Amino acid sequence: MPNLAFAGLLDGGWHELALEHFRDGITVHWLLKGGPVEPSVAILKYRPGAGVPRHRHVGLETIVVLEGTQSDENGDYPAGSVILNPVGTEHSVWTKDGCVVLIQWDLPVIILGEAK
């Protein structure tokens, strides 16, 4: 399988991608859809006020905020931020005004609680 390249995502190229439902208030475009034991890479678009309930990372998760601000219990992450959530970390995620992120996770997360 050749490598996969996605030009211009950091410059708004994600606007051209087709998005589908991921969870309440969040849509997704899969760049690489893994499985229960395989990594995945996606663009997630959060509507204003959307969030993900408290969850535990069983694999490394890497996030690049492309637009807007994503927040968790540790702070607010504006566009250009890179967030690493190592194995064993827990948090919930939300956005006040909406955001778009490039996300890669080694393994799916375990949902622990309700969204903020």
Task: Report pTM.
Answer: 0.92
Residue 86 lies in a domain: yes
CATH number at residue 95: 2.60.120.10
Radius of gyration from C-alpha coordinates of the chain: 13
Residue 50 lies in a domain: yes
Run of H or E residues at 105: strand 99-105
The dihedral through the CA atoms of 79, 85, 89, 92 has a sign that is positive
User: Residue 91 belongs to what domain range?
Assistant: 36-111
Residue 64 lies in a domain: yes
Residue 76 lies in a domain: yes
Profile the chain (116 residues) by mean pLDDT over runs of 10 residues: 81 92 96 89 97 93 97 96 95 97 91 68
What's the confidence (pLDDT) of residue 116?
46
Number of domains in the chain: 1
Residue 62 lies in a domain: yes
What's the confidence (pLDDT) of residue 27?
98
